[in-house]
Structure 1
Amino acid sequence: MAGAGGPPSRSGLRGREAELGELEALIASVARTGSSALALVQGEPGIGKTTLLAEAVTEAAAAGFSVGVGKADELHHIVPLSSLAACVLHGDRPLLSGDAFADLARHHDQRIWLVERLAEMIEARAGGMPVLIGLDDVQWADPLSRFALQHLPVRLRTSPVLWLLTSRREPAGPAEEIVAAAAGHLPAVTVSLGPLSGAAIAQLAGDALGAAVGERVRDLLDGAGGNPFLAVEMLAGLRTADAPDGHVPPGLVVGVRGRLRSLRPGTLRFLQMGAVLGRTFGFHDAAALCGRPAAELIEALEEAVRAGLLDDDGDHLVFRHDLLRQAVYVDIPPSARKALHREAARGLVAAGHQPVDAVPHILRGALPGDEEAVLLLRRAADDVLPVTPGLAADLMTRALELVPSARPLRFAVGEQAVCCLTRAGRNGDALSMGDRLLAGRPPVDAFGRLQAALGGALWNMDLAGELRRRAEAALALGGAAPDVDARLRGLRALAMSRDHDLRAAREAGEAALRAATATGDREAHVLALSALGEIAQNAGEGSLALRRFAALSAIDPAYLPEEIVAHLYVDDFASGERLLRQATDTGATRQAMLLWAQGQHDLGLGRLDDADADFVTMERLEEEVGVCVQQVNGRVLRSRIALLRGDRDDAREHLVAARERLAAKPNPGNTAAVRFLEAVHAEADEDFGLAVDRIRQVQRQGPFMRWRLLRDWVDSAIRMALRGAEHELAVDLAAQARAHAERNPAVPTAAGVAAQADGLVNNDPLTLEHAVGLLGASPRPLVRAAAYADLGWALLAAGRERRAVAALTHARDLFAASGAHAPAAGARHALDDAGAGSRTGAAVERPVRGWGALTPSEKKIARLVAQGHTNRSAADLLVVSPHTVNTHLTSVFRKLSVNSRVQLANLVMGLPDG
């Protein structure tokens, strides 16, 4: 306990024993269980959040935790990852080294990748000791730190990591979003701090004054309203008062503002400049804003530090509490504040700071017509676009507001704003803004640029027809710069890839590629190759599509997933796996699309459990970044996987989800996929009339859907047609399969499926046997299994039981090895009917809980994690994405009813073969 001359001790903790006890219980739980937890301390400014956090951090450090604590700042809340950087770089044992964080910063354009790398580094530290990460004033956290905090606690829920956050109740949003994301995955508690009791406030007075507290002091402290910070400031005023009769200095009863009145004018002015710059600021920056040499302000700095208003950590000056900064800041006249913020922005840039550091001041100080401010906002938007496109879109929207409508600059700023809105997934806003700008009658060149900029939004909104109309209108008008003309041609070809006339689309794509090559414009080149790849794929020309997508990914590695899938379509799974490994090693962009490619790869190789995990992870990653591209197709494939596994309830749930997602994105491809899935479900329900109706709907979606959708499933469609007594439809489907094989003569699957289709239509065992032979070179086990099953049924019908048993046994084994329990059971029943069931064995059902419930991949991952591997090292060994490992691990924990890696290790080591 401090005496009369010392500072109040544990001032914020008076009356907070229960709240501290709650945090201490979480600290003990994380250390004991080895699993994570999250706590949010909420309350008004000055109520004691920071002090409670500091005390909890001290307790955790004493308990052996590795601790990282930071504080977000209202005026520094835009710089990407700045808030979380403070947590992981500071302390006696920083969670990350400066070099490691710098390496992360170089990859900050990949949000998902960055969060995963952060998780790996924290996970590695947590493997040796529990970790506490604390962030004060999370309401001011920058967007990227908020994104990370919404996902890291869940990602690290099986490691001993305690997240301690503090937040004001206003502004609401960031803290609640973080807690909501964690809820249901790990213990997440909210500790609300209200006003201190009168008794606690009296204890504070005793701490500060070291003597009995008189009635006059108690009356004074009533003005603090139970706020410990205000009470402490008032008590500090009492201790430093010069009046010998003990009178209270005027103004203290109304808050901390009275503390400032005894300062010299120069010191107050220095503090005001600092308050404009933010709670944390540089001495030289404040001196520049004062318009005086730094040497002349040393006395002002010393007085501010002696008065307990500022702390000096050697690198920056920090207001001891944000209430102090606000008290200084609000005394600056509003008009002066605007001017000072504008000067602060100019000074920061002149001193070499990044444009994004000046943005908060631009937003508070710029006036319409300020083109220098517009330039800074544009530069800052470019800097943050890759990592926080939503912020970039907001900055560009503000920049556009600052440009008067009469100025030509408005169209250039508008074009950039449209692009940022599109990158942020705000396609409707981008289209509305673009149309408002177009209504302003821009010059011809600006008209073309705006229409080209709107292409991405129109494509994302599945408005291919409108995209083509606009591109052709801009091309017809003429006058566009060569690079813009080439982009418009590429957009026109991309739109035509969804038309029925693919020959005309190809001609348009070739013309666009020539224009792009002539101009050397990278964006035009990407658009042209993307269009030509889509056109070739829609025409069923696998080799040509592969060449186009390989050329595209060479220009822009973000399109590597398209190249991987193109390899799979020509049965080149070895190259697909090589590229997947390369993408995993380099941290390539578009993580969700890479998971889509991984899922296609695993599904093609008959790894149903892995494919399902891939598609689960892909959907989660798409939702995390707010760019939902493959949600419909992912659910369609998961429903088919569930049907193959024999889980009809799960399959129906995925069908419902696919229909819901189709309503939001009803493009022809998605529509055809859902209609085909409905056909598959109708067949399972033995409603062959409905199945045939849905197959016909798929055919009417356009000829290219026949290649994209029925490429590997045409045999299933033919069986539905034959069971529905629609022989003519079956013949048409078989003709499609033959045409596809002719287009892809080097693809074993295509040739084998074409023969299988003919054998089904003609009920010809010899042709089906030929199909099985052709498919021997196919890498797709489920396709081979289906062909063996068709051959077995045909041979049984022909009375050739011995050869039928051999074919059906092959089918059953291939299906069973892939986890396709439903068709495996069908083959087994056929073998029973043939009298061969006892010779071929019976399937064993997988339980839903316990070690036996785990899939082979889950067992591998469980053993690796039990041996001490991180998600990253396990992923490297298994040649999968760390995101997929995380999905498998989530399933492992659920099936084994464990909550931490420690519990998992104990369980695995206790197994007979552990």
Structure 2
Amino acid sequence: MAGSGGSLSRSGLRGREAELEELRTLIASVARTGSGALTLIRGEPGIGKTTLLLEAVATAREAGFSAGLGKADELHHIVPLSSLAACVLHGDDPLLSGDTFADLARHHDRRIWLVERLAEAIEVRAGSVPVLIALDDVQWADPLSLFALKQLPARLRTSPVLWMLTGRQGPPGPAEEIVAAAGGELPAVTVPLGPLSGAAIGQLAGDTLGAAVDERVRELLDGAGGNPFLAVEMLAGLRTADASGESVPPGLVVGVRGRLRSLRPEALRFLQVGAVLGRRFGFEDAAALHGRPSATLIGTLEEVVRAGLLDDDGDQLVFRHDLLRQAVYVDIPPSARKSLHRQAAHRLVATGHQPIDAVSHILRSAQPGDEEAVALLRRAADDVLPVTPGLAADLMTRALELVPATRPLRFDVGEQAIMCLTRAGRNREALSTGDRLLAGRPPLEAIGRLQAALGGTLWNLDLAEELRRRAETALAVGGAAPEVEARLAALRALALSRSHDLGGAREAGENALGAAIAIGDREAHVLSLFGLGEIALNAGENAVALARFTALSAVDSAFLPEEIVAYQHLDDYESGERLLQRAADDAGSSREAMLLWAQAQQHLGLGRLDDAEADFVTMERLEDDVQVPVQQVNARVIRSRIALLRGDRDAARLHLAAARERLAAKPNPGNTAAVRFLEAILAEDDGDIGLAVDKIRQVQREGPFMRWRLLRTWVDSAVRMALRGADHGLAEDLAAQAEAHAERNPAVPTATGVAAQALGLLKNDLALLERSVELLEASPRPLVRAAACADLGKALLAAGRKQQAVAVLTQAHAAFAASGAHAGAARVRRDLEPAGGASRRAASRQRPVQGWEALTASEKKVARLIAEGHTNRSAADLLVVSPHTVNTHLTSVFRKLSVNSRVQLANMVTALRDD
């Protein structure tokens, strides 16, 4: 902290010896262990957070750290990535070059991708030297920087990266959210700064006045309440007052006023203009708002810098402390403040700044009916929607508030607000906004647009019937533009995909697609193809679904995951792998969570249970990050089944509990049926076959389309439960379902093989079970083949064909064991042992929970690559997986090996090789 007219460079450290030592210890720990850490310095404004942070940064640099230091700004707290930019771009050796950061910023419409690229850049630097990233005033950080700060510390916990933040004392806010997000992933230390002791304040006085502190000064300092900044400002004001013969009452604003009295009116006006622009501002911008040529204000600038109120870093002018700016700002009359903020917005836009840069000024100056402000907010919302949809929704909500109810513009603004709220996941708010607007009796054309905008909202809320009703009503009313009518027709077809009449839904979808193509509306085209793909899936027509989703991903590459999964339904895993590779090569590919879902399904189908589990874990984490829970229920259902296949009953029940919890938030028919099926599986595992059969009946009642979407490869389990529960009618229904699915997909070996298996189980027909195994030889799904072999083996044993049974059961055992399905392998082994086909030594060995042998095959590959010095990105490229999946594997590796850094991991791997 620098004071006016005296050396106060270290005055903020008075009384902070213990806190500084704590930070030095943390810095040394990160350097020594090679693992990450996070610290938060908290306290009231002026308590010395910045000074302590600066000293810690200096200490880290002396210790060999590459340090990036930034400060979030109150008036720029909505500009995407502005806060982190200050950390990684400034200094003698910035963590990122301006060109690299600009390249990242061009992809800022993909938050998760951007965070991963930032992590990679920091990780590379941390591979050679420890890194410190320090951000002052984190409470003002912009939403995208906050998003990144919630992900990066945990993501980089295995590298020597120290995160140091300062935040104001008060209710929990962004700083606490960042600390909470780090959780138990890395050491997190909070350093609270309380008031300085009387002795320390006395030392400050001596630093400033250079003389003994008399009683009058001590009384003045009592008013600082132990706050070093207030104390220094009072002392500076006292010194100014002594020189002028005036007395200075206690209090910051009064103290600052005392110092400002010595300024010429011109200099004071310049300071006030600067206070409106923010803590950091450009000289040219301030001169423009001041209404003077910049050349005529050089003397004024020199005056305020000499007074210790502003610093000049060569690029911008900076108020020496936020409290100084605020003290100047509050003395500006409110009407003048609004006028200056509006002028500042005009200046920023006129000089080529992005609309979002001017929004803070607009929000401080806009009045109801201000259409210019509304237009700027709409442009800013459009710009930030892809990267920070929550911010876009906030901007559009404010824009809507500014438009009087009587103006037609309200419906245009409302339509945009609905779309932003929906993209932000605030669907209930979007629906209530739309309904309020519709209650305002909009013109016919606006009714159609509003209902079309609400289509995605209703779909996300799983209100398919309500979506159908609204779309049909809007189409019947008429008056909408052709492209809006096409979108409404497409939305109606999408809603009908959840109906019993899928033939009618298909016809509606075809008509909507034709209209969309005829008028050339891309949104209607996408909606129509998506609806037709959903209809085909719900009808069990996998080839048709693939054709629709292939056409859809050609129009919008964001739907590539749907195309990949459609190939998997046709047993074409080679094409699925090719498309996954293409997605991995596409820098900045969107919908990362859905791509992980497709990748997880690829691994699951191919019997790679460990890799599938890692992908599902990663997918769920990414959905949590962006707060868009699409596949979390299904992922937990599948993870529970994987746990049962492995023999981990406790984990299976934990996943069921998590699935139920997520079902409460998204209780659509598909999710409900999936959870009911899982409850059936676990009830059977508990020996409650009556409950299991009842749950399967509930699945069958959820809707005809669930027969094709849920039980596609699991119908054999349901048939066995029905037969064990003596519900032959249910078993017949399930077998007929499998047969109908095979008829719809005659070229899919899994479909035809599972149909034969289900019918063979129903009829206890050995020939059909043999046929099932023959058909499934062409299936790429090893666990499906293993289950069919297990059924056939038991039937052969019952028929007295022991030698053939042993051969088939041995095949099943090997497939289960190779996939890590230890419980499935154990069940087959129990059938083999009485037949003499397996020994105790043939038992598949369960993995331990700790140590090198506890690692999965993929985790061992990741561990070796990271030990060799690879980054997450380079390891992911070699393994052809997502860097997010590598991160998940690495988290598991560190937990199982009880290591905390890449250095420790490398040492352990080296030791294992030496052995």
Tell me the distance in 1 between the aligned counterparts of 2:827 and 2:73. 64
Which residue of the partner structure matches residue 543 of structure 1?
543
Which residue identity does 1:151 align to in structure 2? Q
Distance 2:867 2:387 in 1: 34
| Per-residue deviation, residues 298-346 of structure 1 (Å, max 9, x unmatched) | 2211111111111112221111111111111000011221222122112
Q: Show the counterpart of 1:512.
A: 512
Aligned residues of 1:251 and 1:257 also touching (Cα < 8 A): no
Q: Partners of 2:17 and 2:496 in 1: how far apart? A: 69
Aligned residue for 2:752? 751
> How far apart, in 1, do the equivalents of 2:534 and 2:2 lie?
75
Letter in 1 for 2:522: R
Q: 2:786 maps to what in 1?
A: 785
2:464 counterpart of 1:438: no
Paired letter, 1:196: L
Task: Find the aligned partners of 2:351 and 2:844 in 1 and give their Cα distance.
Answer: 73
Distance 1:757 1:209 in 2: 92
Instruction: Flag the 1:292–1:796 CA change in 2: closer, same or farther, 3 A.
Output: same
Structure 2 CA distance for aligned equivalents of residues 821 and 744 of structure 1: 31
Contact 2:425–2:627 (CA under 8 A) maintained in structure 1:
yes
Give the counterpart letter for 1:654 in structure 2. Answer: H
Moved more, 311-320 or 133-142: 311-320
> Which stretch shifts more, 280-289 or 131-140?
280-289
Q: Which residue of 2 aligns with 1:420?
A: 420
**Which amino acid in the other structure matches residue 498 of structure 1?**
R
State the distance in 2 between where 1:812 and 1:78 align. Answer: 58
Question: Using a 3 Å threshold, how does the CA distance of structure 1 residues 715 and 18 change in structure 2: closer, same or farther?
Answer: same
CA deviation after TM superposition for structure 1 residue 205, in Å: 2.1
Structure 2 portions without partners, runs of 5+? none
Structure 1, residues 798-846: CA drift from partner, whole Å, max 9, x if none? 0000000000000000000000011100111111010222298222121
Tell me what 2:726 maps to.
725
Q: CA deviation at 1:514?
A: 0.7
Q: CA deviation at 1:6?
A: 4.2
**More displaced 10-residue stretch of structure 1: 889-898 or 526-535:** 889-898
The more displaced of 808-817 and 845-854 is 845-854
SS in 2 for 1:132: strand
Q: Percent identity?
A: 79
Q: Which residue of 2 aligns with 1:217?
A: 217
Where does residue 301 of structure 2 map in the other structure? 301
Q: How does 1:496-645 map to 2 (within 5 A)?
A: 496-586=496-586, 587-645=588-646
Match of 2:772 in 1: 771
CA shift, 1:3, in A, is 13
Equivalent positions of 1:155-234 (< 5 A) are 155-170=155-170, 172-234=172-234
Q: Kindly indicate whether the alpha-carbon contact (under 8 Å) linking 1:237 and 1:252 is maintained by their aligned counterparts in 2.
A: no
Cross-structure match for 2:849: 848
Compute the TM-score of the two structures, normalised by the length of structure 2.
0.98
Pair 1:873–1:819, CA change in 2 (3 A): same
Q: Which deviates more from structure 2 when the two are superposed, residues 228-237 or residues 622-631?
A: 228-237
For 2:546, the aligned partner's letter is L
The C-alpha deviation readout for 1:165-203, integer Å capped at 9, x for no partner, is: 011114641111111112322111111111211111121
**Residue 106 of structure 2 aligns to which amino acid in structure 1?**
R
Structure 2: distance between partners of 1:234 and 1:464: 65
Residue 811 of structure 1: aligned partner: 812
Identify the residue that residue 106 of structure 1 maps to in structure 2: 106
Q: Is the 8 A contact 1:672 1:698 kept in 2?
A: yes
Question: How much does 1:251 deviate?
Answer: 7.3
Larger displacement relative to structure 2 (222-231 or 589-598): 222-231
Cα pair 1:2 1:210 within 8 Å, conserved: no
Displacement of 1:636: 0.5
* Structure 1 counterpart SS, 2:158: coil
1:603 counterpart letter in structure 2: L
- Measured in 2, the distance between the counterparts of 1:433 and 1:252 equals 46
1:753 shift after superposition = 1.3
Which amino acid in 2 is paired with 1:859?
A: K
Which whole-Å CA distance do the structure 1 matches of 2:828 and 2:10 have between them?
74
Equivalent residues of 1:252, 1:259 under 8 A apart: no
Secondary structure of residue in 1 paired with 2:503: helix
Residue identity matched to 1:439? A
Distance in structure 2 (CA, Å) of the matches to 1:842 and 1:764: 30
CA distance in structure 1 between the partners assigned to 2:565 and 2:196 by the alignment: 62
**What pairs with 1:210-359 in structure 2 (closer than 5 Å)?**
210-239=210-239, 243=243, 254-359=254-359
Q: Deviations over 1:348-400 (max 9, x none)?
A: 11121111011001111100111000000000011111111111111111101
- Residues in 1 aligned to 2:239 and 2:708: alpha-carbon distance in whole angstroms: 84
CA, structure 1 residues 2+781, in 2 after alignment: closer, same or farther (shift >3 Å)? closer
The worse-fitting range, judged by mean Cα deviation, of 274-283 and 761-770 is 761-770
Secondary structure at the counterpart of residue 190 of structure 1: strand
Cα offset, 1:619, TM superposition:
1.0
Answer yes or no: is the 8 Å Cα contact 1:251–1:258 preserved in 2: no
**Cα deviation 1:634-692 (Å, max 9, x = unaligned):** 11001100110011111011111111211211111111111111111122223222222
Deviations 1:683-731 (A, max 9, x none): 2223222222222211111211111111111111111122122223222
Provide the TM-score with structure 1 as the length reference.
0.98
Q: Which amino acid aligns with 2:206?
A: G
Alignment gaps of 5+ in structure 1: none
Which digits, 9 at most, give the CA deviation of each residue in 1:520-545, with x for residues without a partner? 11111110000000000111111110
* Pairwise CA distance, 1:238: 4.7
Partner of residue 702, structure 1: 703
Tell me by how many angstroms 1:248 deviates.
5.1
Q: Secondary structure in 1 aligned to 2:69? A: strand
Structure 2 CA distance for aligned equivalents of residues 737 and 249 of structure 1: 89
- 1:50 corresponds to: 50
For 1:369 and 1:571, the matched residues in 2 are separated by 59
Partner SS state of residue 243, structure 1:
helix
Cα 1:272/1:12, change in 2 over 3 Å = same
State the match for 1:674 in structure 2.
Answer: 675
For 1:663, the equivalent position in structure 2 comes to 664
Change (3 A) 1:664 1:247: closer
Whether the aligned pair in 1 keeps the contact of 2:4 and 2:308 (CA below 8 Å) is no
Query: What CA distance in whole angstroms lies between the structure 2 residues aligned with 1:257 and 1:159?
Result: 49
Q: Deviations over 1:473-530 (max 9, x none)?
A: 0000111001100100111011000001100000010011011101111111110000
Q: Distance in 1 between matches of 2:731 and 2:633?
A: 27
Q: Give, as a single letter, the amino acid of the residue that structure 2 aligns with 1:82.
A: S
Work out the CA distance in 2 between the residues paired with 1:897 and 1:193.
34
Size of the alignment, in residue pairs?
913
